[in-house]
């Protein structure tokens, strides 16, 4: 048990760990892609803006540095947040700019572009690289300083030393931000987006694995914790399920040892004269404290686990003794015992049943078997062989829940069925609409044409009895006559029924 739970835990843990990591990775990638694209958009827009701003400034001859032009420059740079500073230098002498800062153009490294434009860069310590777009016009140079906030935008999430930006001019990597290009194998490289900006400039971004980690919503600790929680919850559920099933198996075995399974009997009555034709044997579990457990709480498990075989054996021992007490060996009524296909796998059940009958002096027709159509019989031919021994002895077979399950027709043909037990489900349609009731009529017609006897089950009122009588079904089992009851109650019920009938 422990090893089963341990392996369930390990499996669920591994699966959820893989799933959580996958989604974490997936969302990080998406977030990084989104931010990078946004950054590249902004960079592109800033370049377009700077280019048109520089091209729109007056010709050098018309441009003197005075209060008016200073005002214009301030206004222009103020209008566009992507441009930090806008300035002009005439003949290396006359200088004016939108800010009280002197830009020393000779300190910048220049990279030529087309149309009289160039890009100039200068490193400012470790913090950032200053980036200028310069337009050379005669002896004048107009320049726009691009705001580095664009670049910092991504790094806000992360660390500067695990990120590298590279500006490529006409395909040549030219300007690097944040020092040297990353030496270790770059993990992410989103440079495919908008390769060519205006003037043949593109921006590419590289980051290390460490940088990528910043984008993950969950740390590895939370990932593992999450997987542990999922695995624990599911393993606990599996444990509960297994122990419940296991302990039900154990208590049923104990109940068998203490002989706690007892037969209840539900009479089957001929509606024409009130005569008792026999009774169905229905298992009940009478616990040590007197509590009666209904079949739906243990039969399905007993059938799945094979414990039903021993339960039936226990019932049959009691049934054969009870029938002798009812005097049915003299009057000839039957007790119908529910069996499952597994009862036919060997002759153990046959021997036990017939020996019990002989021990109590019963006659063959005192016992009848019923097998449900709801469960599939794997090997019909083999089942038939086992059944033939019962038939030879004089025990017949009824088909339970006829019309509700697997190939009823083939069961009828192959198994040697004597009687169809019409399920309550169909009897219930008697007072309902015609369409559903036609199934009931079809089953009855099928029984007639196949020369099968019928018993209607779950009959609860007189109207149903009348309808069935009109259709030639007289053997009735249901609350309209009696509920299932223990042997001692049946003795009284039989006596009462006898006196009423006579």
Q: Which two tokens stand for residue 147?
A: 């705001």
With CB under 6 A as the rule, give the number of residues binding ligand C2E: 23
Where helices occur in 57-179 by DSSP H, the ranges are: 67-79, 149-155
User: In this complex, which beta carbon is closest to ligand C2E, that of residue 42 or of residue 457?
Assistant: 457
x/- contact string, 372-411, with ligand C2E (CB under 6 A)?
----------------------------xx----------
For the CB of residue 234, give the shortest distance to ligand C2E in the complex, in Å: 32
- Rule CB under 6 A: is residue 283 a binding residue for ligand C2E? yes
User: In this complex, which beta carbon is closest to ligand C2E, that of residue 77 or of residue 497?
Assistant: 497
Q: Where are the beta strands (DSSP E) in 229-381?
A: 261-270, 276-286, 292-293, 334-339, 367-372
- Rule CB under 6 A: is residue 266 a binding residue for ligand C2E? yes
User: In this complex, which beta carbon is closest to ligand C2E, that of residue 30 or of residue 287?
Assistant: 287
- Rule CB under 5 A: is residue 400 a binding residue for Ca ion? yes
User: In this complex, which beta carbon is closest to ligand C2E, that of residue 103 or of residue 476?
Assistant: 476
User: In this complex, which beta carbon is closest to ligand C2E, that of residue 166 or of residue 457?
Assistant: 457
Cα dihedral angle (408, 413, 415, 418), rounded to 10 degrees?
80
403 binds, among ligand C2E, Ca ion, none (CB under 5 to 8 A by kind): none
Enumerate the β-bridge partners of residue 136: 141
Are 166 and 175 spatial neighbours (Cβ–Cβ below 8 Å)? yes
163 binds, among ligand C2E, Ca ion, none (CB under 5 to 8 A by kind): none
- Rule CB under 6 A: is residue 189 a binding residue for ligand C2E? no
416 binds, among Ca ion, ligand C2E, none (CB under 5 to 8 A by kind): none
Quote the CA–CA distance of 318 and 336 in Å, as a whole number: 13
Q: Which residue of 401, 443, 474, 484 would you call a contact of Ca ion, by CB under 5 A? A: 401
- Rule CB under 6 A: is residue 276 a binding residue for ligand C2E? no
Are 362 and 324 spatial neighbours (Cβ–Cβ below 8 Å)? yes
Q: Which two tokens stand for residue 224?
A: 């593992």
Are 363 and 338 spatial neighbours (Cβ–Cβ below 8 Å)? no
- Rule CB under 6 A: is residue 340 a binding residue for ligand C2E? yes
Interface with ligand C2E in residues 105-164 (CB under 6 A): none
| Alpha-carbon radius of gyration of the chain | 46
Strand-strand pairing, 261-270 and 475-477? antiparallel
- Rule CB under 6 A: is residue 464 a binding residue for ligand C2E? no
Beta carbons within 8 Å of 21's beta carbon, 6+ residues apart: 223
Burial of residue 19, with CB atoms counted within 10 A of its CB: 0-12 exposed, 13-18 middle, 19 or more buried: middle
299 binds, among Ca ion, ligand C2E, none (CB under 5 to 8 A by kind): ligand C2E
User: In this complex, which beta carbon is closest to Ca ion, that of residue 235 or of residue 372?
Assistant: 372
For the CB of residue 11, give the shortest distance to ligand C2E in the complex, in Å: 35
- Rule CB under 5 A: is residue 129 a binding residue for Ca ion? no
- Rule CB under 6 A: is residue 341 a binding residue for ligand C2E? no
User: In this complex, which beta carbon is closest to ligand C2E, that of residue 312 or of residue 329?
Assistant: 312
497 binds, among ligand C2E, Ca ion, none (CB under 5 to 8 A by kind): none
Identify the CA nearest to 175 among candidates 184, 167, 183. 167
Are 476 and 268 spatial neighbours (Cβ–Cβ below 8 Å)? yes
- Rule CB under 6 A: is residue 42 a binding residue for ligand C2E? no
Tell me how crowded residue 378 is: count the other CB atoms within 10 A of its CB.
Answer: 10
Q: Where are the beta strands (DSSP E) in 150-200?
A: 163-169, 172-176, 188-189
Q: Which two tokens stand for residue 356?
A: 């019990």
- Rule CB under 5 A: is residue 396 a binding residue for Ca ion? no
Among 79-87, 92-100, 449-457, 473-481, the segment contacting Ca ion (CB under 5 A): 449-457
User: In this complex, which beta carbon is closest to ligand C2E, that of residue 155 or of residue 476?
Assistant: 476
For the CB of residue 28, give the shortest distance to Ca ion in the complex, in Å: 60
Identify the CA nearest to 479 among candidates 455, 462, 499, 497. 462
Quote the CA–CA distance of 352 and 33 in Å, as a whole number: 76
Quote the CA–CA distance of 146 and 148 in Å, as a whole number: 6
Interface with Ca ion in residues 335-354 (CB under 5 A): 338
Are 302 and 375 spatial neighbours (Cβ–Cβ below 8 Å)? no
Q: Which residues bind Ca ion (CB under 5 A)?
A: 338, 370, 400-401, 457
Q: Which residues bind ligand C2E (CB under 6 A)?
A: 266, 282-283, 294-295, 299, 303, 308, 312, 315, 338, 340, 400-401, 424, 457-460, 477-479, 484
């Amino acid at each position: 048990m422990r090893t089963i739970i341990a392996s369930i835990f390990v499996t669920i843990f591994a699966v959820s760990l893989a799933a959580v990591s996958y989604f974490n990775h997936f969302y990080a990638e998406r977030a990084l892609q989104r931010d990078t694209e946004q950054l590249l958009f902004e960079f592109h827009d800033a370049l377009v803006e700077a280019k048109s701003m520089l091209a729109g400034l007056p010709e050098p001859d018309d441009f003197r540095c005075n209060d008016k032009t200073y005002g214009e420059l301030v206004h222009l740079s103020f209008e566009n947040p992507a441009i930090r500073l806008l300035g002009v230098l005439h003949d290396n002498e006359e200088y004016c700019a939108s800010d009280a800062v002197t830009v020393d153009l000779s300190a910048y490294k220049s990279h030529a572009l087309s149309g009289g434009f160039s890009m100039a860069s200068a490193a400012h310590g470790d913090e950032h690289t200053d980036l200028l777009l310069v337009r050379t016009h005669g002896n004048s140079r107009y320049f726009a300083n691009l705001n580095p906030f664009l670049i910092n935008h991504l790094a806000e999430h992360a660390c500067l030393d695990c990120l590298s930006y590279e500006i490529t001019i006409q395909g040549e990597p030219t300007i690097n931000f944040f020092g040297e290009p990353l030496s270790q194998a770059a993990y992410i490289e989103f440079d495919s987006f908008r390769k060519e900006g205006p003037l043949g400039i593109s921006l590419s971004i590289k980051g290390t694995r460490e940088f990528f980690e910043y984008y993950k919503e969950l740390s590895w600790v939370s990932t593992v914790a999450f997987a542990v929680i999922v695995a624990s919850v599911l393993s606990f559920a599996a444990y509960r399920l297994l122990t419940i099933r296991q302990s039900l198996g154990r208590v049923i075995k104990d109940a068998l040892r203490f002989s706690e399974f007892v037969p209840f009997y539900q009479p089957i009555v001929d509606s024409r004269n009130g005569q008792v034709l026999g009774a169905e044997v229905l298992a009940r579990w009478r616990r040590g404290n007197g509590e009666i457990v209904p079949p739906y709480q243990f039969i399905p498990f007993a059938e799945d686990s094979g414990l039903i075989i021993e339960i039936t054996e226990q019932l049959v021992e009691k049934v054969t003794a009870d029938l002798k007490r009812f005097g049915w060996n003299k009057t000839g009524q039957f007790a119908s015992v529910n069996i499952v296909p597994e009862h036919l796998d060997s002759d153990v059940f046959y021997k036990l049943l017939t020996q019990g009958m002989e021990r109590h002096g019963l006659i063959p027709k005192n016992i009848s078997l019923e097998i449900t159509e709801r469960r599939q019989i794997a090997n019909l031919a083999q089942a038939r062989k086992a059944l033939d021994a019962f038939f030879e002895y004089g025990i017949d077979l009824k088909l339970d829940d006829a019309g509700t399950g697997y190939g009823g027709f083939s069961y009828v043909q192959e198994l040697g069925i004597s009687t169809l037990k019409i399920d309550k489900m169909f009897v219930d349609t008697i007072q309902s609409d015609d369409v559903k009731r036609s199934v009931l009529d079809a089953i009855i017609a099928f029984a007639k044409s196949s020369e099968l006897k019928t018993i209607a089950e779950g009959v609860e009122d007189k109207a149903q009895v009348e309808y069935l009588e009109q259709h030639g079904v007289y053997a009735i089992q249901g609350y309209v006559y009696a509920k299932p009851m223990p042997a001692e109650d049946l003795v009284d019920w039989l006596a009462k029924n006898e006196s009423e009938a006579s």
